[in-house]
Amino acid sequence: MILHLIRHPKPLIDAGICYGQSDIPAPIEPADFARLRAELPPGLPVWSSPLQRCRQLAEQLHAQPRMDDRLAEMNFGDWEGRAWGDIPRHQLDAWAADVANYAPPGGESPAALQQRALDFVASLCVPEAVIVTHAGVIRTLLAHWQGLPPARWSDVHVEFSTVTTISLSNDSADLIRLNR
């Protein structure tokens, strides 16, 4: 199976704000849309996170994209909408000490995000697809497929409005392109 993972455009929010599952718009520039469209084979099915920063792009790529909650960004719970600098230091330290399993108060852990994203991929029954989603989803999927330990998950950098393509088979995952 070939997956074309697209990170949504840059959202309309101030830098330094934690916005995981906050539903923030992210208009796509026409030049970015044209570039993305040129990177994708025509006629592929499109799945998307239901959050509008993904949904808006997916609706431009396909007349009837399928929404799936498993493609939503990580739920940061009480951290949502707060400046990173305003989050209690002891909570950030706890997260840094257990990157995969720490869940912000009222939120979910990166491991839980990874599991629901993997469950989504396992449910696909198509040879090739486009998935419009978030950096956290793409990062944890790539980390899993590349066998990265949780301490290295943040090494996977995913740019706004880019395509990352991976080829999956029963026993391997081959990264075809990253952030294109």
Mean pLDDT of the chain: 96
Domain span including residue 159: 2-177
Tens-place pLDDT, residues 76-111: 999 999 999 999 999 999 999 999 999 999 999 999
Give the chain's largest Cα–Cα span: 48
- β-pairing, 2-7 with 172-177? unpaired
Report the CATH number at residue 57: 3.40.50.1240
Residue 99 DSSP label: T
pLDDT at 128 exceeding the cut of 80: yes
Name the helix (H) or strand (E) containing 110: helix 110-123
pTM of the model: 0.95
Residues 52, 54, 112, 147, Cα dihedral to 10°: -170
C-alpha to C-alpha distance for 91 and 40, rounded to whole angstroms: 40
Q: How many domains does the chain have?
A: 1
